[in-house]
Amino acid sequence: MLFRRSLLCLAVSTAIPLHVYAENSLSSDNSPESEEVVEFNDEFLLNAGTEIDVNRFAHGNPVAAGTYRTKINLNGALKSTVDVTFKDNGTPRATPCTTKLLLVQSGVDTSKESDDIPDDDNTTCQDIKTLYPGATVTYDSGKQELDLNFPQVYVLKRPAGYVDPSLWENGVPAALLSYDMNGWHSESNGSSSESAYMGLRYGLNMGPWRLRSRGNLNWDKNTGSKYSSQDIYLQRDITPLNAQMVVGDSYSRGEAFNSMSLRGVTMYSDDRMLPLGTTSYTPVIRGVANSNAKVSVTQSGNKIYETSVPPGAFEINDLSTTGYGNDLLVTIEETDGSKRSFTVPFSSVTQMLRPGSTRWDIGVGELNDDALIEKPKVGYGTLYYGINNTFTGYVGAQYTDMDFYAGLLGLAMNTSIGAFAFDITQSHADVEGLDTLSGQSYRLTYSKILEQTNTSFNVAAYRFSTKDYLSLTDAAQLQDGIKRQNYGNRNYESNTDLYADYQRTKNQIQISLNQPLSSGETDLGSLYISGTWQDYWNSTGSNSNYNIGYNNSFTYGSYSLSLQRTYDQTGKQDDSVYLSLSVPLSVFSNDGNYSGGFSNINTGIRSDLKGGISVNTSASGNTKDNRVGYSISTSSNSGNYGDLNQVSGFTSFNNGYGPLGLSASFSDDNSKQYSASYSGGMVLHSGGIALAPGSIGDSDSLALVKASGAKGAGVGYGSGVIGDSGYGILPYMSAYRENRISLDISTLENDVEIKNTSEVAIPRNGSVVLVNFETDEGRSLILELQRNDKGFIPLGADVLNEKNEVVGTVGQAGQAYIRGAADKGILHVVWGGDKDNACTVHYQLSQAATKAGLTTVLSNQLCQM
């Protein structure tokens, strides 16, 4: 206990000189205008007649001339973290240079300054007092913060979340590789199935340009391996337009027209670059697995996701989709080889824009559809404009070289009963062998939250298309069918007969509603309803999907009930009822903890109302550091789900280089299943290779965190760590926003000093931003010093090495903290200008020396006068 108190005193005393002077007022020419001299009472600094020289701290903590990473505050609000140059002014404290660029980035109105100095000037120091009467600039050396205090008349009125574009970082040159792998093996009825999947994403960053490509490698024991390239494109920001430009494969937005794949050049406005912009929307996929199952997601015929899930309800919320308006096909493959599929509609809802705001999307190229014999050349454009607080108007146009064109005109309005949008699309197509086909498509959408009941209509949409209306992809497929003369594997006597059998949407209705339930202040759970219905021209059938669910919690856990009904075009009905119950084991413990290694019990019952019943029960848990998760499940199926009892296990390992998942199951019919999945990524940069704690998305912005020697330190809020190379990866940063990156030094494996543990980065879309944490890799050492003449070594005395460099400071009771110590050597302790105000200590480390964490402690070290 005595040692701990001494160590605390040492830390406090060492920090005292760093805070004796908090700020330094600057004049208009950035030289000290008035430095408040700090005087020390010598009576408090005497140690047995020996005093320490503290004159160097009379004007505050010394600041050497140079460039330092500094936090910038404007009127108390943090604005940025940038490099600031400190210039020599003839005093121990150099003066920060306040440039025009720094003022612009901080939100100061510089319009009154000379036009001869551009806004991006970062070298000319400004005369603050003359240009901005009443303004002051102060530097806090202890916090490394520059405080700008300006009268409100000089402060720009900017919206919340605004970050000046000059602070957006292109990042460093880097190559990226990301991978999602899944291996599957199952045995049933004397046969076996083996397959493997690897989703790959490649990238290369050079300045503002991002080269990206995606593909997947599929292997099956029976059919062998096949690699499919999904897309390749080059992308960059267009900052003046707040937009993105893509050259290569891309998808058009599905807000006005249906989304389509294009190989060419596209440009679109990026709301993320605006102060209150939003990010891209992707749907959440929910489903239920009866066993350890393989779940795959395809979009436009391309597999974009695959994973293994344990029995019970699952949720997928991290998709990397390839467009805004193409539906997602979800396939669940059970252990016994049975498959179930369902479609998740994926289309963006109409959004109101603020007055004067725009959203646009343009592109030219060819329709990227490998199923077509001839790919038509395509051009398109859409524009949304906020007219006022009530109305937003939008228009669109499409054209192809196969004599197809379409125009769209729409109006969205904000009313007291909800937000409406109505638009009309007129299409015109000259198809070979057919009369000119012209038609219209009418669409009405509605969105509203009823404040009285808190009812949320997420989207209610209705679309009607006339008989001869064709979308661009409809027209391309119809033209292709005529060229093949074998549409739908059927031969037609004429193009008219083919068109008479060509199926396309007539009516489509979508609705989604969520209703929280309560009685007074008592929460009664929530109810949700969703459904889709559509029919077709030239077809008598329709298909539909309806869902209703209820969720609630009680004293010992939570439960949910959901019902689903679907109809296909033949009228076949499929029903499903699912009841789930989740109980945390901590509710049965007085201290809120759980024992036995498990934290949760989950039970799910599923029925098709036709005799098919599936019951799953699982116990799940995780280690205290959350790096390992695990579950054990039992399932029993009967009726239409098959008569099968099964025991399965699922575990996941989270580490700094990507999560690993393993599963296995065994059934009473001797069938079995094994699977393994792994996700990860790596970044190749000038300093080597850094591994990411998970897969890297196409447009993810990353922080390449450098902390030399700090192996094992945690990176940010995830599971990333600093590796042997001194680098780590923090993914999922918000583009065009201020991101705070921190290091967790509690897991350090090496004796290293990290000068600061928090930095700020503002990345552009897809950039790899280098975030450098300054470290001192020299060994740390605590010496308990005693003078040979029995005198005292004063608090604050400097410790110098043999090169006369300051390597430490003496705290109370003669304890000195040293950084950069060798295995043995000579140190000089100095506390004044006289030769008698110094002593010398010879030290040598031994393996038996005491440790305080990673720091070596040497006791009874004699300091010779």
Alpha carbon distance 153, 592 (integer Å) = 55
Q: Which of 174, 150, 20 is nearest to 75 (CA)?
A: 150
**Residue found under tokens 């160590």:** 7
Q: Residue 220, exposed/middle/buried by CB under 10 A (0-12, 13-18, 19+)?
A: middle
Of 121, 143, 158, which closes a domain?
A: 158
Residue 607 inside a domain? The answer is: no
φ, ψ dihedrals at 241, nearest 5°: -100, 0
Please say which residue of 143, 158, 173 terminates a domain.
158
Return d(Cα 337, Cα 190) in angstroms, integer.
13
Query: Looking at 131, 158, 185, which one is the last position of a domain?
Result: 158
Per residue in 590-619, pLDDT (tens digit) is: 665 655 578 899 999 999 888 888 899 999
Residue 595 lies in a domain: no
pLDDT on residue 407: 97
Distance CA(348)–CA(321), nearest Å, equals 13
CB–CB of 503/536 below 8 Å?
Answer: yes
Contact 810, 785 (CB under 8 A): yes
Total number of domains in the chain = 2
CB under 8 Å to 590, separation ≥6 — which residues?
none
- Domain contains 814: yes
98 in a structural domain:
yes
Length of the chain (residues): 865
What is the C-alpha to C-alpha distance for residues 288 and 313, in angstroms, rounded to an integer?
A: 4
3-state per-residue secondary structure call for 455-491: EEEEEEEEEEECCCCCCHHHHHHHHHHHHHCCHHHCC
Q: What is the pLDDT of residue 310?
A: 84
Distance CA 632, CA 311 (A): 10
- Rounded CA-CA distance 312/591 in Å is 29
Tell me the sheet residues that pair with 394: 384, 410
149, two tokens: 């205090």
Instruction: Give the CATH number, domain containing residue 140.
Output: 3.10.20.410
pLDDT at 277 (0 to 100): 47
The per-residue pLDDT for 571 is: 82
For residue 806, give the CATH number of its domain.
2.60.40.2070
Q: Which residues of the chain have pLDDT under 50?
A: 1-34, 46-49, 277-281, 324-325, 347-349, 487-488
Residue 182 CB-density burial (10 A; 0-12 exposed, 13-18 middle, 19+ buried): buried
CB 721 within 8 A of CB 747: yes
Supply the DSSP symbol for 812.
G
Confidence (pTM): 0.76
410 and 422 in contact (C-beta within 8 Å)?
Answer: yes
Q: How far apart are CA 394 and CA 413, in angstroms?
A: 11
Structural domain span for residue 20: 2-158
Half-sphere exposure of 425 (CA within 13 A, CB side): 24
- Beta-bridge mates of residue 186: 193, 673
Instruction: For residue 138, tell me if it sits in a domain.
Output: yes
Integer Cα distance of 434 and 517 in angstroms = 56
Does 153 map to a domain?
yes
16 in a structural domain: yes
Query: Looking at the domain assignment, is residue 74 inside a domain?
Result: yes
Closest CA to 167 of 71, 243, 94, 92: 71
500: closest CA among 472, 537, 470, 464? 537
pLDDT, tens digit, 9 for 90 and up, residues 342-354: 877 554 346 678 7
